[in-house]
Amino acid sequence: MTDQTSRTGPAAARGEREVLILNALPHPVILLDEANKVCSANDAAQSFFQASASVLSRHPLGHFVPFGSPLLQLVDQVRERGSSVNEYRVDVGTPRIGGERIVDIYAAPAADQPNFVVVMLQERTMADKMDRQLTHRGAARSVTGLAAMLAHEIKNPLSGIRGAAQLLEQSATDDDRALTQLITDEADRIVKLVDRMEVFSDERPIEREPVNIHAVLEHVKRLALSGFARHIRIIEEYDPSLPPVYANRDQLVQVFLNLVKNAAEALVDTSDAEIVLTTAFRPGVRLSIPGTRERVSLPLEFCVRDNGPGVPDEIQTHMFDPFVTTKTNGTGLGLALVAKIVGDHGGVIECDSQPRRTTFRLLLPAYVDKSAD
């Protein structure tokens, strides 16, 4: 942060501390003088506008945002009213700083400088992703009732159909046997589908314990390499000092198996196909729980990345919903199940997809050993 006013003594020390605070903020903060020149900008603002503080200070704000930008009107309003004004979901993108940059704007008069205005921008991406993630949980839940009903109403008659087909098979001609075989195979397929859906109706609290994620990933990798991902390179980028995750081991295996399987299926036409598994510790990630004031810490980050063609645009916003699939033989339950399990664990999953780089990112709570206090 550059500050054009020089100070000495305790005021200077306090000024330096304020600069430290402002530079530690992840959100861009700027101070505008009466001519709208950017006379002060924290580190985040310099990187947002892709200009150093001295370049910023040489031009009025209008130079860095599009002509007629709502940001400029907002600043004028602050001066007129003498009070703060906020606006949400404003696009301040320019070709220079990147096409679409959706931000929330908080603008307020600077306390002791007439007509100076302080502006803070908050990028929407992360907040939006979290909102979206929270709705995935609802989507998974809506299958719950349906799944319970299906299990009852379909599995019993199916086993009758299957048994009858097997009886017929005993006295059937070769041609007819092909048909009875078809009946039993298809019945088995439906039973498998219903079994997969039954997981959604299981509302019992999950049994959790401290789990070593690297052992889980090793297991998934072995399964993948001996089957569906036989010809794909799997690269591990692990933080070996990672604390255990507080989870149900079997369910975690399911989550990663589904993600790695999707990646492998997306990579069928890629010649240099590779899947990267990463683990990292991010102590700063916190999520507020909707409807409460509670905030949970989700410091464990696991990613499954592939260099395939990416998730098709038309399903990007609802790929975690059940029955969304682009595959001829897909059920579209894989990611819905992943979202349900991650939600049951109090975690978050999100996807960032572009051609040659699709990342599914999971954030989960760490195991806290209470006896250690």
User: Residue 254 Cβ, how far from Mg ion at the closest point, in Å?
Assistant: 11
Binding Mg ion by CB under 5 A: which of 262, 279, 307, 358?
262
β-sheet bridge partners, residue 137: none
From CA 320, how far away is CA 315, in angstroms rounded?
A: 9
306 binds, among ligand ATP, Mg ion, none (CB under 5 to 8 A by kind): ligand ATP
Q: Could you tell me the two tokens for 134? A: 């929270």
User: Residue 355 Cβ, how far from ligand ATP at the closest point, in Å?
Assistant: 10
Classify each residue of 127-164 as buried b or exposed e, where b means 16 or more C-beta atoms within 10 Å of its C-beta.
eebeeebeebbebbeebbeebbebbeeeeeebeeebee
Is the CB of 242 or the CB of 267 nearer to ligand ATP?
267
Is the CB of 57 or the CB of 262 nearer to ligand ATP?
262
135 binds, among Mg ion, ligand ATP, none (CB under 5 to 8 A by kind): none
344 binds, among Mg ion, ligand ATP, none (CB under 5 to 8 A by kind): none
327 binds, among ligand ATP, Mg ion, none (CB under 5 to 8 A by kind): ligand ATP
Residue 172 burial by Cβ neighbours in a 10 Å radius (0-12, 13-18, 19+):
middle
Q: Which residues within the stretch 280-319 sit at the binding site for Mg ion (CB under 5 A)?
A: none
User: Residue 142 Cβ, how far from ligand ATP at the closest point, in Å?
Assistant: 15
Q: Which stretch binds Mg ion (CB under 5 A): 168-176, 314-322, 334-342, 356-364?
A: 334-342
From CA 210, how far away is CA 181, in angstroms rounded?
A: 45
Q: Are 286 and 298 in contact (CB under 8 A)?
A: yes
358 binds, among Mg ion, ligand ATP, none (CB under 5 to 8 A by kind): ligand ATP
User: Residue 184 Cβ, how far from Mg ion at the closest point, in Å?
Assistant: 25
User: Residue 310 Cβ, how far from ligand ATP at the closest point, in Å?
Assistant: 6
Q: What is the DSSP string of 264-288?
A: HHHTTT-TT-EEEEEEEE-TT-EEE
| Residues forming the site for ligand ATP (CB under 6 A) | 258, 262-263, 266, 306, 308, 310-312, 315, 319, 324-327, 330-336, 358
Is the CB of 5 or the CB of 328 nearer to ligand ATP?
328
Q: Does 334 bind Mg ion (CB under 5 A)?
A: yes
The amino acid present at 16, given as its one-letter code, is E
308 binds, among Mg ion, ligand ATP, none (CB under 5 to 8 A by kind): ligand ATP
Q: Which own/partner pairs from 76-84 qualify as long-range (CB within 8 Å, at least 24 positions apart)?
A: 77/107, 78/107, 78/108, 78/109, 78/117, 79/109, 79/115, 79/117, 82/109, 83/108, 83/109, 84/108, 84/109
Q: Which of 72, 108, 76 is nearest to 90 (CA)?
A: 72
Place of tokens 């599995």: 155
User: Residue 262 Cβ, how far from Mg ion at the closest point, in Å?
Assistant: 4
Residues that bind Mg ion (CB under 5 A): 262, 334
